[in-house]
Amino acid sequence: SACILVDSRCLSSGVELLASLRQRHAAAVHVCSLDGSYFIVSSRMAVERQSQSDLASTQNRKRLIERISSLLGLFERVCLIVEKDRTKTGEISRLFQRTRYYDSTLAALVGAGIRLLWSAGAEESAGLLADLAKLEHRKGQGISVPLEVKGQHRQQALQLYLSLPSVSYVHALSLSHNFSSIAQLMNSSIEAIQKGGCMSRPRAEEIYRFLRYSCDSALVNASKAGKRN
Amino acid sequence: VNAAPPHGHVICSQRWRNAAVLQGLKGVIILFEDELGLADFHLPNRTAILYVSECDIIAGNGYKRKLVCYRNACSRFQELVLVERTRLTEQYFSAVQKFVLFDLGLTLLPVGGQVEASQLIAQISSENPFRRRTPRRLLEPSVLALVQHIPGVGRVKALTLLQHFPSIQQVCNASVAELEPIVGQTSAQQVHSFFHKPLVEH
């Protein structure tokens, strides 16, 4: 069945969607803490969900660009489900007013290689997510490691892997299941990192270089103990 | 017709001459062309557009063949599909989307009609904020942050460790004996065992 990772921030707004994923589509859904409210449906694909009115609102532009750019850095494929706004029962559905801003946003998303999906509501979005996960699975890109990480040491290793640059939750998950110790990863070849992390070659190369990067002590002292990204 | 049109131009298939879709394309120079193949428009940023109208969808499955041929033509353009989503086609929309997206792997954009389509086409050739590359940053802060994920290592110990072992790999491969004079006996044990303890489930 389809394996899907969900950010905990999706819970409040996505009760109906999650229930539908679990019950109607028999998907294995695991809630975890991602760096944004999105879904991971394969080792390379993330899915954002936005309401049509949020996408059309100019106030959200900066946040949308930040979120999408960060996803493009972490995943080979990024999808965006555009969901029609919910209308309260009895309310006549308002006609969506298409603006030039909305069109330019769509054009920019398409130009950046984002795959857009169109949904009439939570139920349909759940179906689209399940379809994407199944399609990726058929292409051999499904999430093949257990979605849960048990034990304190493994949890700590997962957190360490998450602080590697350009590593998404699903990469970190694969790394923590596929390497017998952290030291084994630290001393692995690019090929072994690529295989163990179920990731692309450039990403594995970036990790390989990062682990061997020799810090300039003056710059280390000057740097603030930064958070991830 | 394999070259993209110059900036500010749109190449348009002959069959759209006099159509409503062209009225919204103000400020754009429209060139008509007989041999665009199945595509209806070619845009400056190497985008090809196929327009699926309300009639196409209601008339039956003919448009599907057209879509398959469009995809297989494998031009060097990014292929978009505009689909008229109206009250009449609403019931077919989800099936059309499944076909275009999941079976063909093309990008679909719904439009309410030709006027909306023309406004969208006009926007497709503008610049792109999502593709902006983030400038290369120094790696030192990221390395420091990662070292602090070792249990028992805070900012001070992380800085001391990196002064003696400037890369993460070197921190990892340092022996307990090498670590002891730097972070003390307890931490040395802790750091070493964190890296080398097997990650097996109990």
Residues B147 and B121 in one domain: no
Looking at residue B17, its pLDDT comes to: 84
What letter would DSSP give residue B103?
Answer: I
User: Does the distance separating the beta carbons of A226 and B126 come in below 8 Å?
Assistant: no
Average pLDDT over residues B36-52: 88
Q: Is the pLDDT of residue B96 over 80?
A: yes
Angstrom distance (rounded) from CA B134 to CA A226: 17
Residues B105 and B20 in one domain: yes
Tell me the residue range of the domain where B56 lies. 1-133
Residue B169: give its domain's CATH number. 1.10.150.20
Choice between A95 and B120, residue whose per-residue pLDDT is larger: B120
Residues B112 and B168 in one domain: no
User: Does the distance separating the beta carbons of A217 and B162 come in below 8 Å?
Assistant: yes
Residues B75 and B166 in one domain: no
Residues B148 and B98 in one domain: no
Q: Is the pLDDT of residue B194 over 70?
A: yes
How large is the ipTM? 0.83
Candidates A118, A141, A177, partner chain B, best to mutate (most B CBs within 10 A): A118
**Which of A16-30, B37-51, B163-177, B179-193 has the least mean pLDDT?**
B37-51
Task: For residue range B119-135, list pLDDT tens digits in order.
Answer: 898 888 665 556 555 55
**pLDDT tier at A161 (50, 70, 90 boundaries)?**
very high
> Among B111, B133, B155, where does a domain finish?
B133
Contact present, B126 and A200 (Cβ < 8 Å)? no
Q: Is the pLDDT of residue B4 over 90?
A: no
User: Does the distance separating the beta carbons of B109 and A116 come in below 8 Å?
Assistant: yes
Residue B101: give its domain's CATH number. 3.40.50.10130
Angstrom distance (rounded) from CA A93 to CA B155: 55
Answer whether B150 touches A (CB < 8 Å): yes
Task: For residue range A110-139, list pLDDT tens digits in order.
Answer: 988 999 999 999 999 999 999 999 999 999
Considering only CB atoms, which chain B residues are within 8 Å of A202? none
**pLDDT tier at A162 (50, 70, 90 boundaries)?**
very high
User: Does the distance separating the beta carbons of B124 and A107 come in below 8 Å?
Assistant: yes
User: Does the distance separating the beta carbons of A73 and B140 come in below 8 Å?
Assistant: no
Distance separating the N- and C-terminal Cα atoms of chain A: 33
**A115-119 β-sheet, strand order:** A28-32, A3-7, A39-40, A45-51, A77-83, A115-119
Looking at residue A168, its pLDDT comes to: 95
Residues B126 and B143 in one domain: no
Residues B92 and B48 in one domain: yes
Q: Is the pLDDT of residue A109 over 50?
A: yes
Angstrom distance (rounded) from CA A167 to CA A171: 6
Looking at residue A226, its pLDDT comes to: 45
Considering only CB atoms, which chain B residues are within 8 Å of A103? 119-120, 122-123
Residues B108 and B159 in one domain: no
Residues B121 and B144 in one domain: no
Residues B7 and B90 in one domain: yes
What letter would DSSP give residue A198?
Answer: T
Angstrom distance (rounded) from CA B124 to CA A116: 14
> Among B89, B117, B133, where does a domain finish?
B133
Q: Is the pLDDT of residue A225 over 50?
A: no
Looking at residue B124, its pLDDT comes to: 83
**pLDDT tier at A227 (50, 70, 90 boundaries)?**
very low
Residues 147-206 of A with CB under 8 A from B: 150-151, 153-154, 156-157, 159-160, 163-165, 176, 179-183, 186-187
> Among B114, B133, B152, where does a domain finish?
B133
Task: For residue range A33-87, list pLDDT tens digits in order.
Answer: 998 889 999 999 999 999 999 999 989 888 998 999 999 999 999 999 999 987 7
Answer whether A95 touches B (CB < 8 Å): no
- How many domains are contained in chain B? 2
Residues B87 and B124 in one domain: yes
Looking at residue B126, its pLDDT comes to: 63
Residues B158 and B116 in one domain: no
Contact present, B23 and B2 (Cβ < 8 Å)? no
| Average of per-residue pLDDT values in chain A | 90
